[in-house]
Chain A
Amino acid sequence: MKATIHGVKIRGVCATVPAHVSYFEDELKHFPFPEKSSRRLGKVMGFREHRIADPKTTLCDLASYTLNYLFHRGYLRKEDMQAMIVVSRERDYPVPGNSKVIHGQLGLPRDMHCVDMYENCIGFISGLYTACSMIAGGGVDSVVLATTITGACYANIKDRNTYPICGDAAGVTLITRSDDPEDKISFVFHHDGSRLEVLMTPAGGMRMPRSSETAKMFKDKMGNFRSLNNKYMDGTAVFQFVMEEVPPLIEEICAYAGVKKEDIRYHLTHQPNRFMLEKLADLMGVSRDILFNNIVEKFGNSSCATIPVNIAFNLGKRLLAEKMLVCFSAFGAGLSLGAAVCPLGNLEFCDLIEHPGNGVIEYTD
């Protein structure tokens, strides 16, 4: 599926990560492998530290804290909010949805629209497309896109395949209507649900509710301990999926958007691990300097929030004064792929902040 939406732009990006840092070196003793082997893996994959929220801090708290920061700084006025999309694969409650929880926490206007999207790693691009579609559809001139996740504190530390990369974060991106004819965003999406077993959590939904049976731990063929309640990833298949499908996706989005690949200043990708991103840059034929791969080693893989963290950490204040052509790309559970090309810059804010923990939502200097 392809679409170009005219007259929309990103006005600002703010990412929030938990202040609490968990170190790979301290986690080695929990993995069911010799420490030497884990260190070798960590060195190649770029596992060093990741941010994990405490159990009292939920994905809605991270998003509300970020929004309160924007209110506090005057980047956004509560009364101006017209629509908010909250993207996550996790939720504060089964009922109601995250966007209503955040609406209540912040006392947002009653005449705004709040909508939830369940998404995985392509959540930022998928949410961006939905936000742009809402503006193009009329009725709203700006949309707040919150891509947020917590739950790393519940991840299975005996699974070296998934634990070292997990991370919590929230991204809040403000998308607005623009009169500048150069402001447009092109999107491409691909999905292959026939390969859903490659990256999935088998139990915990309607298909297989959690039970004492699904909680039983077993040792898998690669030596990790996990249960059906835990996320499973066939690392080889995910690696091959990304290597085979993302380079042509980038060619496709560039051709569709009518831009030359060499005109893309930065490739702002989802962040699974350093190794995969290095190989991806090589296969795409772009310099590793313009495809950042450092988010997992500093913050962890926060699913739908990695791209806002990537933008804020690696480009940050530069985007306040410069405007550049960028390509977003993301890939993950589904299996799903998404890419977007747009000018990004002259932002009103582009910050990375830390959340103090304990479920705080009020921001104070």
Chain B
Amino acid sequence: MTTQEKLAALEDIMELDEGTLKPETSLDDIEEWDSLSALSFVVLLGDEFGRKITGQQIRDSKTVQDLLDVMEAEN
């Protein structure tokens, strides 16, 4: 999956328009990054990437890039 496709997947989770997210975007600035988005991210990681993330890792994530890093780690 390219970075663009990963960003699109994150936009899909947060129900954002295409092209809204940039890697440097702070998660605190995204109203749609909430517990449901976090859970959807957990499901996406499991289903699409066979990866597991802890609640602590999610809470420690500051930017969109942090989420991309998790997706890329073992891809």
Known: A221-B59, A222-B38, A235-B39. A240 touches B31 (CB 8 A): no
User: B18 at the A/B interface (Cβ < 8 Å)?
Assistant: no
Q: State in angstroms the CA–CA spacing of A44 and B46 once bound together.
A: 18
User: A161 at the A/B interface (Cβ < 8 Å)?
Assistant: yes
Cross-chain contact B52 with A240 (CB below 8 angstroms): yes
User: Which of B38, B42, B59 is the one whose CB lies under 8 Å from A240?
Assistant: B42
Cross-chain contact A236 with B42 (CB below 8 angstroms): yes
User: B23 at the A/B interface (Cβ < 8 Å)?
Assistant: no
Cross-chain contact A236 with B54 (CB below 8 angstroms): yes
User: A234 at the A/B interface (Cβ < 8 Å)?
Assistant: yes
Q: A226 to nearest B CB, angstroms? A: 13
User: A223 at the A/B interface (Cβ < 8 Å)?
Assistant: yes
List A residues 137-177 near B (Cβ within 8 Å): 160-161
- Per-residue CB proximity of B48-75 to A under 8 Å, as 1/0? 0000111100110000000000000000
Known: A40-B15, A222-B59, A234-B55. A239 touches B39 (CB 8 A): yes
Q: A198 to nearest B CB, angstroms? A: 8
Q: B4 to nearest A CB, angstroms? A: 25
User: A112 at the A/B interface (Cβ < 8 Å)?
Assistant: no
- Looking at A221, A235, A236, A239, the one whose CB has the most chain B CB atoms below 10 A away is A236
Cross-chain contact A37 with B34 (CB below 8 angstroms): yes
Count of residues in B whose CB is under 8 Å from the partner chain: 17
- Per-residue CB proximity of B9-37 to A under 8 Å, as 1/0? 00000010000000000000001101110
Q: A306 to nearest B CB, angstroms? A: 20
User: A41 at the A/B interface (Cβ < 8 Å)?
Assistant: yes
Main SS class of interface, A:
helix
Q: A264 to nearest B CB, angstroms? A: 25
User: A21 at the A/B interface (Cβ < 8 Å)?
Assistant: no
Cross-chain contact A33 with B54 (CB below 8 angstroms): no
User: B44 at the A/B interface (Cβ < 8 Å)?
Assistant: no
Chain B residues near A160 (CB-CB < 8 A) = 35
Instruction: Give the size range of A's interface with the partner.
Output: 20 to 34
Cross-chain contact A41 with B35 (CB below 8 angstroms): yes
Q: A153 to nearest B CB, angstroms? A: 23
Q: B43 to nearest A CB, angstroms? A: 7
Known: A221-B59, A240-B52. A40 touches B39 (CB 8 A): no
Main SS class of interface, B:
helix
Nearest B residue to A279 by beta-carbon distance? B43
Cross-chain contact A161 with B35 (CB below 8 angstroms): yes
Cross-chain contact A236 with B53 (CB below 8 angstroms): yes
Cross-chain contact A33 with B34 (CB below 8 angstroms): yes
Nearest A residue to B59 by beta-carbon distance? A221
User: Which of B34, B42, B43, B59 is the one whose CB lies under 8 Å from A41?
Assistant: B34
Known: A40-B15, A279-B43. A237 touches B55 (CB 8 A): yes
User: A243 at the A/B interface (Cβ < 8 Å)?
Assistant: yes
- Looking at B31, B34, B38, B58, the one whose CB has the most chain A CB atoms below 10 A away is B34
User: A74 at the A/B interface (Cβ < 8 Å)?
Assistant: no
User: A34 at the A/B interface (Cβ < 8 Å)?
Assistant: yes
User: Which of B31, B42, B43, B55 is the one whose CB lies under 8 Å from A37?
Assistant: B31
Chain A residues near B59 (CB-CB < 8 A) = 221-222
Q: State in angstroms the CA–CA spacing of A202 and B21 once bound together.
A: 37
User: Which of B15, B34, B42 is the one whose CB lies under 8 Å from A239?
Assistant: B42
Q: State in angstroms the CA–CA spacing of A104 and B43 once bound together.
A: 49
Q: State in angstroms the CA–CA spacing of A221 and B38 once bound together.
A: 12
Chain A residues near B46 (CB-CB < 8 A) = 243
In the complex, 9 of the A-B residue pairs with CB atoms within 8 angstroms, ordered by the A residue number, are A37-B32, A37-B34, A37-B36, A44-B36, A235-B55, A236-B54, A236-B58, A239-B42, A240-B52
Q: Which 7 A-B pairs have the closest CB atoms?
A: A236-B55, A221-B59, A234-B55, A41-B36, A237-B55, A37-B34, A222-B35
Can you add 7 more A-B contacts, CB < 8 Å, to A41-B35, A235-B39? A40-B15, A40-B36, A41-B34, A44-B36, A221-B59, A236-B39, A279-B43
